[in-house]
Amino acid sequence: MSFIGRALAILRKDLQAEWRTKERLSPMVFFTLLVLLVFNFSFELGGAALREIGPGVLWSSYVFASLLGLGRSFADEHENDALDALLLAPGDHGAIYLGKMVGNLVFLLAIELLSLPFFALFFNLSLGFFLVPLLAVFVLGSACLASVGTLFAAMSNNMRLRELLLPLLLLPMILPALISCVAATKIVLANGHFTELLPHMQMLGVYAVVFTVLSLMLFEYAIEE
Amino acid sequence: MDKDGEIVLTDAAKRFGAYTALHPTNLVISRGQAVLLVGANGAGKSTLLRLVAGLSRPSDGKVQINGHDLQDAPEARSAIGLLSHQTLLYDELTARENLRFFAQLYGLHNVQERLDEALAEARLDDRQHHRVSSFSRGMKQRLALARATLHRPSILLLDEPFTGLDTGSATALRQFLHLFRGNGGTCILVTHRLDEADGLVDRLLVLERGHLRLDQALSSDLDQLYAHCAPYLDSAL
Q: How would you write B130-144 as a 3-class SS string?
A: CEHHHCCHHHHHHHH
The minimum CA-CA distance between B158 and chain A, rounded to whole Å, is 13
- Chain A CB contacts of B93 under 8 Å are 13, 16-17
- Residue pair A144/A122 in contact by the 8 Å Cβ criterion: no
| CATH class of the B7-90+153-236 domain in this structure | alpha beta
- Chain B CB contacts of A82 under 8 Å are 88-90
SS3 A49: helix
SS3 B127: helix
Give the pLDDT band of residue A178 (cuts 50, 70, 90).
very high
- Residue pair B49/B188 in contact by the 8 Å Cβ criterion: yes
What's the number of CA atoms in the CB half-sphere (13 Å) around residue B44? Answer: 25
Stronger pLDDT, A38 or A7, i.e. the higher one: A7
Q: Tell me what the mean pLDDT of segment A79-103 comes to.
A: 92
Q: Tell me what the mean pLDDT of segment A172-197 comes to.
A: 92
* Interchain pair B104, A6: CB under 8 A: yes
In chain B, pLDDT over 90 holds for what percent of residues?
Answer: 53
Give pairs for B170-178: CB < 8 Å, separation 24+: B170/B196, B172/B142, B173/B141, B173/B145, B174/B199, B174/B200, B176/B145, B177/B34
* Interchain pair B147, A16: CB under 8 A: no
Tell me the per-residue pLDDT of B7-63, one tens digit each, with 9 for 90 and over. Answer: 999 999 999 888 999 999 999 999 999 999 988 888 889 999 999 999 898 999 999
The region, left, alpha or beta by phi > 0 then psi within -120 to 50, assigned to residue B54 is left
* Interchain pair B74, A6: CB under 8 A: no
CB atoms near residue B166 (< 10 Å) = 12
> Under 8 Å CB-to-CB from A25, ≥6 apart: which residues?
A18, A69, A107, A110, A111
- Chain A CB contacts of B87 under 8 Å are 80-81
How confident is the model at residue B237, as a pLDDT? Answer: 41
How confident is the model at residue B220, as a pLDDT? Answer: 56
In chain A, pLDDT over 70 holds for what percent of residues?
Answer: 96
Q: Tell me what the mean pLDDT of segment A202-207 comes to.
A: 97
Measured in whole angstroms, the distance separating CA B18 from the mean position of its chain's CA atoms is 28
- Chain B CB contacts of A5 under 8 Å are 104, 107
Is the pLDDT score of A38 beyond 90?
no
What's the CA gap between B77 and B56, in Å, rounded?
A: 12
What's the CA gap between B132 and A37, in Å, rounded?
A: 39
Q: Which residues of A touch B (CB under 8 A)?
A: 1, 5-6, 9-10, 12-13, 16-17, 20-21, 76, 79-82, 84-93, 224-225
Pick from A41-45, A169-173, B71-75: least confident: A41-45
The pLDDT mean for chain A works out to: 90
For chain B, list residues with pLDDT below 70: 1-3, 220-222, 233-237
The region, left, alpha or beta by phi > 0 then psi within -120 to 50, assigned to residue B39 is left
How confident is the model at residue B26, as a pLDDT? Answer: 94
The minimum CA-CA distance between B224 and chain A, rounded to whole Å, is 34
Choose, out of B55, B147, B149, the residue to mutate when testing the contact with A (most A CBs < 10 Å): B55
- Residue pair A90/B74 in contact by the 8 Å Cβ criterion: yes
How confident is the model at residue B234, as a pLDDT? Answer: 57
The minimum CA-CA distance between B139 and chain A, rounded to whole Å, is 15
Query: Residue B198 gets which letter from DSSP?
Result: T
Q: Tell me what the mean pLDDT of segment A106-121 comes to.
A: 92
Q: Tell me what the mean pLDDT of segment A10-16 comes to.
A: 95
* Interchain pair B75, A17: CB under 8 A: no
* Interchain pair A85, B77: CB under 8 A: no
A/B interface, count of CB pairs below 8 Å: 84
Residue of A nearest to B150 (CA): A89
* Interchain pair A17, B107: CB under 8 A: no
Q: Tell me what the mean pLDDT of segment A120-145 comes to.
A: 86
How confident is the model at residue B222, as a pLDDT? Answer: 67
How confident is the model at residue B221, as a pLDDT? Answer: 67
SS3 B152: coil
How confident is the model at residue A47, as a pLDDT? Answer: 60
**DSSP secondary structure, A85-97, as one string:** HHHHSSS-THHHH
- Chain A CB contacts of B107 under 8 Å are 1, 5, 90
What's the CA gap between A152 and A146, in Å, rounded?
A: 10
How confident is the model at residue B1, as a pLDDT? Answer: 44
* Interchain pair A89, B54: CB under 8 A: no
How confident is the model at residue A211, as a pLDDT? Answer: 96
Stronger pLDDT, A221 or B116, i.e. the higher one: B116
Across the interface, which of B88, B104, B147 has its CB nearest the CB of A81?
B88
How confident is the model at residue A212, as a pLDDT? Answer: 97
Is the pLDDT score of A130 beyond 80?
no
Predicted-complex ipTM score = 0.88
How confident is the model at residue B230, as a pLDDT? Answer: 73
Q: Tell me what the mean pLDDT of segment A140-161 comes to.
A: 91
What's the CA gap between B161 and B144, in Å, rounded?
A: 10
Stronger pLDDT, A39 or A153, i.e. the higher one: A153
- Residue pair A118/A124 in contact by the 8 Å Cβ criterion: no
φ/ψ of residue B206, rounded to 5: -120, 125
Please list the residues that pair with B12 across neighbouring strands: B25
In chain A, pLDDT over 90 holds for what percent of residues?
Answer: 61
The 3-class secondary structure across A14-42, one letter per residue, is HHHHHHHHCCCHHHHHHHHHHHHHHHHHH
What's the number of CA atoms in the CB half-sphere (13 Å) around residue A108? Answer: 33
The minimum CA-CA distance between A171 and chain B, rounded to whole Å, is 28
| pTM, entire model | 0.90
Choose, out of A15, A88, A93, the residue to mutate when testing the contact with B (most B CBs < 10 Å): A88
